[in-house]
Chains A and B, each alone.
Chain A
């Protein structure tokens, strides 16, 4: 069964017949070919599916497609503007904050909201902020460093 929904996806208004028994994550990946958000657990445990919905980080595996009507969603694909990477993406590359990369899109989307609400987080605040995002490769150290370096970059840009 499908239902017509109107929502904003990465800055663009879209009109879409969403299959009802589907999560936001599946819809992004299968209907829109936005495969950045990943399914790790499908149960709200790993954060690999994190996207920004109406300004807050959510697990897209725990949102129904039908709920999207009238809302706004940003995925990792919407972070880079005109082919230019977001400072967080640049920092993850420069600090080598990824190995297999499976957790990275979710990690970056969580960090994006974290830095919006708290532009200069302490190490502990970063750890707490990304505690809903699991990474099985990096050991987190470089991820934390990348988020710190992106924070400095945003700060410099705003000055």
Chain B
């Protein structure tokens, strides 16, 4: 690993001034991606700004109008949270499906989103929850709908000197949802395809990962399903529309054709679960 200067800011303001002073700095949160990239020489930051101790980024707040997950909150803090695991089991399932326990004790939800991997596991439940990304930068705070946040593989709307302070969503965003992850091995693997399907009244929200350059909502399928009864035929038709909406590639984990089939199968199964459990 190359040399760098290490900073541990105590406030967001301090953090942003450091970013402005050091254009080649890297933000360190859980470190589970950054340290590997540094080790492999893929990133050679001159300065490391460790943000995980900033008080404003800590904690999970469960309020009547908003759930707020701080920017430094780890995967295991999410699924170990008693209220979150009761109210949003699908989000907790997604957090629990990331890496190993050792990774989940360090990796953060904010980091998972900022890295903008097409297969970010926690992105699909948060897309269905219509989550909002909160940022802080030289020009103050911004709120960006997660739906708009991902631009391309590893590209987001985050500005170079901005920090994600947290992720929020409405407590009643969904009545119910299902998270599905397909991977080569059950534990400690990246998604071949991941998906969340949620229902709110007569509306459905469907998000897939690993089938396009970014995790994405399948709005065509959602429009088709609106106020429909989930009969076998409707589910099958939804699966067909989904297949035509996504654009997966072939890679080491699976072929394009396999992914297309899996998108259809996972969606049909998830809708069946929602139908059965009301």
Contact = CB atoms under 8 A, between A and B. Distances in A.
B36 interface: yes
Interface in B98-126: 99-103, 105-106
Interface string B159-170: 000000000000
Nearest to A117: B80
Secondary structure call for the A interface: mixed
B1 to A, nearest CB: 4
B65 interface: no
A69 interface: yes
Contacts, number: 83
Given A66-B48, A110-B102, A131 B1 contact: no
B173 interface: no
Contact of A58 (B2, B106, B186): B106
* Most central of B36, B39, B50, B101 by chain A CB within 10 Å: B101
B35 A132 contact: no
* Most central of B4, B100, B188 by chain A CB within 10 Å: B100
B36 A56 contact: no
A62 B100 contact: no
B32 interface: yes
B28 interface: yes
B: contact size bracket: 20 to 34
Contacts of A23: 1, 35
B187 A131 contact: yes
Nearest to A21: B1
A84 B13 CA distance: 49
B58 to A, nearest CB: 14
Interface stretch (A40-48, A138-146, A148-156): A40-48
B57 to A, nearest CB: 15
A42 B38 CA distance: 11
Contacts of B28: 64, 67
B31 A132 contact: no
Contact of B105 (A3, A43, A56, A66): A56
23 contacts: A1-B3, A3-B6, A20-B3, A20-B5, A21-B2, A23-B35, A44-B32, A44-B36, A44-B103, A47-B100, A59-B102, A61-B35, A62-B31, A63-B106, A64-B35, A64-B50, A67-B31, A69-B8, A110-B101, A114-B101, A129-B101, A132-B101, A133-B100
Given A20-B6, A45-B188, A59-B102, 5 more contacts: A20-B3, A21-B3, A58-B106, A131-B101, A132-B188
Interface of B: 1-6, 8, 28, 31-32, 35-36, 39, 48, 50, 76, 99-103, 105-106, 186-188
